[in-house]
Amino acid sequence: MITLSHVSKWYQSFQVLKDCSTEIAKGEVVVVCGPSGSGKSTLIKCVNGLEPFQEGTISVAGTSVGDRKTNLPKLRARIGMVFQHFELFPHLSVMRNLVLAQMKVLGRGREESEQRGMKLLDRVGLREHAHKYPGQLSGGQQQRVAIARALAMDPIAMLFDEPTSALDPEMINEVLEVMIALAKEGMTMAVVTHEMGFAHKVAHRVVFMDKGEIVEDAPTTEFFNKPRSERAQTFLSKILQH
Amino acid sequence: MFSNFDFDVIIRSLPYLFIDGMSFTLLLTAFAASGGIIFGTLLALMRLSGFAPLSLPAAGYVNLMRSVPLVLMIFWFYFLVPYIGQWITGAPRPIQVGAFLSSLVTFTLFEAAYYCEIMRAGIQSIPRGQVAAAQALGMNYAQTMGYIVLPQALRNMLPVLLTQTIILFQDTSLVYVLSITDFLGAASKVAQRDGRLVEMYLFAALVYFVISFVVSRLVRHLQTRVAIIR
């Protein structure tokens, strides 16, 4: 469903992505990991065109992302994205956060949008918080609202950019549980994360990046049991020793 | 020490001062502030766009307006607007627009430069992630600005916008150069007519002070009410 081929990106003379190619099939859950500064967030933001790239092609459900003729807002409306810092709209209530894009982008009616929003809030366990403002919720609750907001658009795939990195440890699980449930339902997901437990449990494949390159792209068990590259081995030994 | 002064002149001229004078001042302030904020926001969006044919003229406009004395602008527009009107409509004679319209245009255009800088700071204060989140939901530029960025920027900048509006309220007294009867103009006319300069100018100063002071207090109160819950 999502195909990246030979994607390269530069910030002026500094190359942040080097010839990255991979594929995510429908219903597949792919975890992208690697040391900080390895370009994994940048790569995932290229998928919905939030970051431009200079070389290569990315196609999502047959639509080329880098093509000038592509209607990017229309494409993005079909891909859900969850950010490290939640990025809920602080001036709008939780319900307005869920409803706004449904109404303005998809053209749904208010009632239909609110029903859909309520259903998703219920699903992430936050039904009674619909009328609060994001600032009144904890980090974990905000991130669950953010996931619900993305799901309200009925996306064909979901992108997660370090969804638990900004959370206090005791809130990480409530967010991961929502993501695990989503994965088990067969949602196509690309997840940038350091949560190796999550990767173990639901990822079909792990993509390991370092210095802007995709160093390893392997089925989950293979990646954890016998990583081929030395860099992945070092990374895993650092992350898993505790 | 006040034995030589006649404060009754104030009481006698109250209807003229407020019904003729103050209503002009307040109308001019209200219209110029609304127009200035709208035009200023547009200018701010132009300045912040990466597209040089938009950002350069906007920057030039703001810098020009901010380096010309307001009195000069008031004069200029008063004499110029009739000719511009003639040029646009192709009328045979300069179109008399009247002092109110002319000063309204001047203040709107002049204040827009200041409101622009305030709104620019407000827009820049919104984290880039907010824009990314709006775009990721499929919103286009107008929707992102209209529903996400500008409402937050306006709330953040409300105290500064209203402070600027209080300055505008005081600056409207400069229309006296066109011998318009705004509040200060009315006070000045009574003062000249009755030879009561000290009384009238003291009273005018007091009224400006009270209004500005009360409004700035209200601003503080309002600020806590519209603030975004964080």
Strands (E) located in B12-111: none
pLDDT in tens, A70-94: 999 999 999 999 999 999 999 999 9
Instruction: Say if A127 is an interface residue toward chain B (CB within 8 Å).
Output: no
Residues in chain A with CB shorter than 8 Å from the CB of B127 are 85, 87
**For residue A137, what are the CA distances in angstroms to A96, A158, B98?**
15, 23, 56
How far apart CA B185 and CA A153 sit, in angstroms, is 59
Q: Give yes or no for residue B29 having a pLDDT over 60.
A: yes
pLDDT of residue A175: 95
Calculate how close chain B gets to A19, using CA atoms only, in Å.
24
CA distance linking residue A11 with residue B81, whole number of Å = 49
Model confidence, pTM: 0.89
- Name the residue with tokens 């390991």: A208
Question: pLDDT by residue (tens digit) across B89-134?
Answer: 888 888 887 888 889 999 999 999 999 999 999 999 999 999 999 9
Mean pLDDT (chain B) is 91
Q: Shortest Cα distance from B87 to chain A (angstroms)?
A: 42
User: Which pLDDT band, with edges at 50, 70 and 90, does B195 fall under?
Assistant: confident
Close Cβ partners of A138 (under 8 Å, ≥ 6 residues apart): A171
- For residues A2 and A23, the answer to whether their CB atoms sit within 8 Å is yes
> Residues, chain B, total?
230
- Of the candidate ranges A44-48, A193-197, B37-41, B112-116, the one whose mean pLDDT is the lowest: A193-197
pLDDT at A207 over 60: yes
pLDDT at B101: 86
Share above pLDDT 90 across residues of chain A, in percent, rounded to a whole number: 90
Residues of chain A above pLDDT 70, percent: 99
CA–CA separation, B99 and B87 (whole Å): 19
Query: Given this model, what pLDDT does residue B97 score?
Result: 79
Residues 6+ apart with CB under 8 A from B189: B181
Beta bridge partners, A160, equal A82, A191
Residues of B in Cβ contact (< 8 Å) with A48? 136
Pair of tokens at residue B18: 């407020």
